[in-house]
Structure 1
Amino acid sequence: MTMVMNDEVLVQEYDDMTSDDQDLYDQITDMFGEKWTHEQTLNFMGELDDYGITQRDQLEDAFMYVTDTQYTPDGAKAEFAEYWFTDVMCNNTYDDVVVDWTATFDYALRFDMSVIEFDGDFYFFNNNF
């Protein structure tokens, strides 16, 4: 049997959170979760907690990029690696060579970045926040 939560239960759950958890919940909703249900937002908070992101400012500092479901995990890593090296690092030397961006992520970025696959999207976070 599936329990359907009513608005009063959702409000009570939110009110029972610590102020830090409420701030994080609100920031998640502002940044990417307006389409998510209350339960999905709480689940995403749990995913973030696994990476040590438990406060609003940590989320703001750590968040780097999000891409959608058109990719496999390797495709998402490749898109992020290309974005990181060409847009963030402003390194355009790759125009004349073919780069395996998935291998680039696995070699150069995997220790500094975490990837969360959630609700069909891939979220990239800097581990050094």
Structure 2
Amino acid sequence: MSYCRGLRDREVNQVDDSYFNSLTDAQKSKVLGILLFKASDRCYAYEEAQYFKFVIRTNDADGMKILKLASFAPQQTEASKAIIDSLDSKEVERLSNTEQFSTPFDIIHLLDKLGL
């Protein structure tokens, strides 16, 4: 867990990708958020699975509350949904599998570097 948290300080200074660079600023911001989510999800997957198994096996009440909260999809505005729908999911997935975005990164630093 601490390894993954530490990666959130990893600085990415630029994105040299034709798909990403063709996007609007709003789309770029959404893509970066999605990439961070995917990278974090990938990084924490093992620990999360172990925690879920523990909660289910022990029927831990507090843990069950956390699992229920974690299972809800985040609320999105119509504008946000429209931006996400405008993205090419295959391209976002491709970016997510690149070395640059396969692990968590400092999104605030990158947004600032890109002027977003």
| Bigger Rg, structure 1 or 2 | 1
Q: Looking at both structures, which has the greater relative contact order when contacts are Cα pairs under 8 Å and sequence separation is at least 6? A: 2
Whichever structure has more helix as a proportion of its residues is: 2
TM-score relative to the length of structure 2: 0.27
